[in-house]
Structure 1
């Protein structure tokens, strides 16, 4: 019998933290589960990442209400993945922001991604009955967009492909703080199943060039101070390169996916096996690396059926 996805049996509730990473700036983290960010302006609040369900979003809202009663007027979504966006309705934010590319990906693969992730992460989708449907932005942009929360400036930027083709980072220049989504992780595996391996390190360097003094990453603890920020940037780059290179070598000599998985494990297990969601991400990461090494630039759409076919093949 084929065993279940690595995350399918993870039903233990995670302990959450709400950490101030700059004046009026917070990271909501949950032991390797998807993070959210909070930006408090003069008269309103922007939330970064919605969480997977309204149930989880209300945990973020509860933390916000512990520090401010200002209205939540903006919800910024760094990319299209279901675990990031489907809790959006709980915030009742008049403005939902996303890149043009990310919106196009909702059109192209949003429902398939929802169905796929629902099977992979049952704990994150508890209370899914409240989700009203796919999350659609009210405002989109290409390249760069600036929002003012009173006098506080917030920059939404596309600095390169990485976790997805539509990734956005959010910067608050008055505090040198950034919210990077899943481009940057800390002590958590990168999910690369929809990623762009060869672009990812360059995108990380574009973030480094902005000299953030604190980052709320996609998963893992808040990163405060230049030393911790740079260590996380370096570790994320190492994870991406360590995953891609052995898989690309197997693909180049005509090896199959199972051989690619073994080669990847040989390099990555000693360095990353204790990272959050490592075992969950690994098969998807190997499959995407194998495709990219064969010249498939646009990641193939993951469906619940494709997930199972890939998983069964790797289990033999």
Structure 2
């Protein structure tokens, strides 16, 4: 009979972790967030609503966020949380499992979302037994056992960071979307991330439109030594003047940065040089040696993994994260939402 309950975020992860913990532990999933900020249309139907004081609270009416609390002189910015409709069955199952154990471990992801989920679980389940925050970066037996031995309290600063992010999402999303539908029409929306991103895309597009292209050519040669060793040579200088070789030689107006100190090869000139040097004997006048070291690329971070999937496999960012989530839940990779390049010792 299990004596401890471990709550993780996803059912797939729960199955993997259960294999490592054995019969003394029951592992259940919250299936993501269990609560969210109330929808504005339900505010007046909520039992917390006070018809004497709350009608003057515009933020509560429009966003589901109480900025005043019980007294209008305070400034609390308290979201009204409600249990998500899809989570009601899950909460019933978790409460039932909680009654059969004497210890609770909150093993949601160690990021601000996971920390918030752990806090919401405590707020909703109200456990009367000891409960601990259990965190790990990889789903291996060693990592899970270590996490059980090194539990901590819920990080309320991280919870507050997630709450601030959610409040910004609600205010910016609802506020800007309303304005955009009035100005643009249709189903136009705005948000904390998409609106600044759209602006950046527009700015980059304007830069592209302003950009003036410049034409230039280059000359390279496949050279074979008398010992039949092949190497590639590139024309970089003519009579002491550098041959233009890339965008660093031009400004945004398509003008040369160094004026007469460089040579711009046209397609015709480059073709003529090719005809002159083809099948001719070249002389190596000097050789300069310098140490060269090529290191392997670092392990993936979230962004570099997404870039590789998009650039090399033609997938999307969401598809990349779906793949990574599956690999993580099955114990093949470390936690995939990270900027760290640290490798697991397993």
TM-score range, shorter chain: under 0.3
TM normalised by structure 1 equals 0.28
